[in-house]
């Protein structure tokens, strides 16, 4: 159903040079849509797909960039963001400009162009819980602990308000701990699992700071791409709503690192030690939270289900690093 879902439509991907945006571009290039790539800098030509994409190069903090995107797009998959919590804390004003202002300009462009596109937004999980109270669903109160979290919630609120007023049709997918092939460079405070996989493949030992007993939910990038595609296809079902999107599988940080080590050894023959050490300074508050998703509402709305176990996703990532 997905390959023909966007036939005859123009689908814009913001952050097309990024981890999620780049993977969405690859997926959409195999469909009969008109693909519009949005990025701050010129992008390399696609080496696949039957039709060359349309490129919009510009800063999404500028209204004129959104005017160009919305004038052309039937669907907007909005992935562009400043995603480092560390960078957000260092410069909250710049983070607001990167994460909230673009959503406001998107809504303004809809009014200006008299268009009502489908918009699916890459939000972030802000809920947490005790291990005994997991998994987390949409009823758990938001608990933003970083500037980044707060700004993503503000952008999500702008989207929901516009959807409720009929300005656009869309919703927010709250993501956490996305990993897999395609992450070009590590971001401060992000991409922990990808960094650990790269280190293990390079023969470096893995270090767990503290007890490693905090619980996580890791979601493979291809499952995230499928979630965005299905949400855009069924926009009426997700309109003016946010969804917790995750694997629904709990694992501690220590267990995840040990799984990486075991999969690297199985696939490459390289032994990777995992060492437990006391942290040199207190862990950031966000690192001390527990999270596992309950994606039941998103599954009910769209039919999406994660296709990859953590071991399978780690294997795919190792293969990309060793065969690429």
Q: Which pLDDT tens digit goes with each residue over 172-194?
A: 999 989 999 986 655 545 689 99
Q: What pLDDT is attached to residue 189?
A: 52
Q: Which ranges of 165-252 does DSSP label H, i.e. alpha helix? A: 192-201, 221-233, 235-238
Cβ-contact 254, 261 below 8 angstroms: no
Task: Give me the helix-helix angle, 92-99 and 147-164, nearest 10°.
Answer: 30
pLDDT at 221: 97
What spatial distance separates the first Cα and last Cα of the chain, rounded to whole Å? 30
Q: How far apart are CA 42 and CA 64, in angstroms?
A: 17
pLDDT score for 49 = 62
Structure tokens at 40: 């701050």
| Residue 292 · residue 249 · CB < 8 Å | yes
CA 79-81-67 angle, to 5 degrees, is: 70
pLDDT tens across 258-296, in order?
999 999 999 999 999 999 998 877 767 677 789 999 999
Q: Find the range with the poorest average confidence among 47-51, 63-67, 150-154, 307-311.
A: 47-51
Q: Locate the domains of the chain by residue range.
A: 2-179+219-248+292-307
Are the C-beta atoms of residues 82 and 102 closer than 8 Å to each other?
no
Q: Which residues contact 223 (CB under 8 A, 6 or more apart)?
A: 247, 306, 307, 308
Enter the DSSP assignment of 53. Answer: P
CB atoms within 10 A of CB 64: 11
105-138 pLDDT, tens digit per residue, is 999 999 999 999 999 999 999 987 777 788 999 9
Q: Please give the torsion angle defined by the CA atoms of residues 157, 220, 15 and 89, in that order, rounded to the nearest 10 degrees.
A: 60
Q: Are 57 and 17 in contact (CB under 8 A)?
A: no
pLDDT at 52: 86
Banded model confidence at residue 51, pLDDT cuts 50, 70, 90: confident
Q: Peptide bond preceding 69: is omega within 30 degrees of 0, i.e. cis?
A: no
∠ CA 189-79-138, nearest 5°, is 75
For residue 235, list its beta bridge partners: none
Q: Please give the distance of CA 276 from its chain centroid, rounded to a whole number.
A: 29
Q: Which residues contact 48 (CB under 8 A, 6 or more apart)?
A: 26, 29, 30
What are the structure tokens assigned to 313, written together? 């996703």
Q: What pLDDT shows up at residue 302?
A: 97
The pTM score is 0.94
Could you give the CA distance from residue 64 to residue 225 in angstroms, rounded to a whole number? 28
The answer to whether the beta carbons of residues 81 and 122 sit under 8 Å apart is yes
Separation in Å, CA 65 to CA 8, 72, 165, 240, 259: 23, 11, 23, 24, 43
Q: Which CATH class is domain 2-179+219-248+292-307?
A: alpha beta
Q: How far apart are CA 62 and CA 59, in angstroms?
A: 6
Length of the chain: 324
For residue 38, name the pLDDT band (cuts at 50, 70, 90).
Answer: very high
Region 214-228 average pLDDT: 97
Query: Per-residue pLDDT for 305 more than 90?
Result: yes
């Amino acid at each position: 159903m997905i390959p023909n879902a966007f036939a005859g439509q123009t689908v814009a991907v913001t952050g097309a040079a990024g981890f999620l945006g780049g993977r969405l571009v690859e997926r959409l290039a195999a469909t009969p849509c008109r693909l519009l790539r949005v990025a701050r800098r010129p992008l390399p030509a696609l080496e696949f797909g039957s039709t060359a994409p349309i490129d919009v190069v510009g800063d999404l903090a500028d209204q004129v960039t959104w005017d160009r995107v919305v004038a052309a797009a039937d669907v907007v998959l909005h992935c562009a963001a400043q995603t480092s919590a560390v960078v957000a804390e260092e410069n909250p004003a710049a983070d607001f400009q990167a994460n909230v202002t673009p959503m406001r300009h998107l809504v303004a462009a809809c009014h200006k162009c008299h268009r009502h596109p489908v918009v699916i937004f890459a939000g972030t999980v802000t809920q947490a819980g005790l291990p005994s109270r997991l998994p987390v669903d949409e009823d758990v109160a938001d608990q933003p602990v970083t500037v980044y979290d707060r700004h993503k919630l503000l952008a999500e609120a702008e989207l929901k308000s516009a959807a409720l007023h009929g300005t656009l049709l869309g919703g927010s997918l709250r993501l956490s701990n996305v990993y897999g092939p395609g992450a070009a460079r590590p971001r401060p405070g992000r991409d922990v699992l990808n960094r650990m996989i790269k280190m293990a493949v390079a023969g470096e030992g893995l270090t767990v700071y503290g007890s490693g007993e905090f619980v996580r939910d890791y979601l493979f990038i291809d499952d995230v791409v499928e979630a965005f595609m299905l949400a855009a296809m069924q926009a009426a079902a997700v309109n003016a709503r946010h969804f917790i999107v995750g694997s629904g599988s709990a694992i501690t940080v220590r267990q995840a690192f040990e799984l990486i080590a075991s999969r690297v050894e199985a696939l490459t023959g390289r032994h990777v030690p995992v060492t437990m050490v006391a942290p040199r300074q207190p862990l950031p508050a966000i690192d001390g939270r527990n999270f596992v998703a309950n994606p039941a509402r998103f599954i009910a709305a769209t039919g999406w289900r994660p296709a990859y176990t953590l071991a399978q996703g780690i294997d795919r990532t190792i293969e990309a690093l060793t065969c690429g």
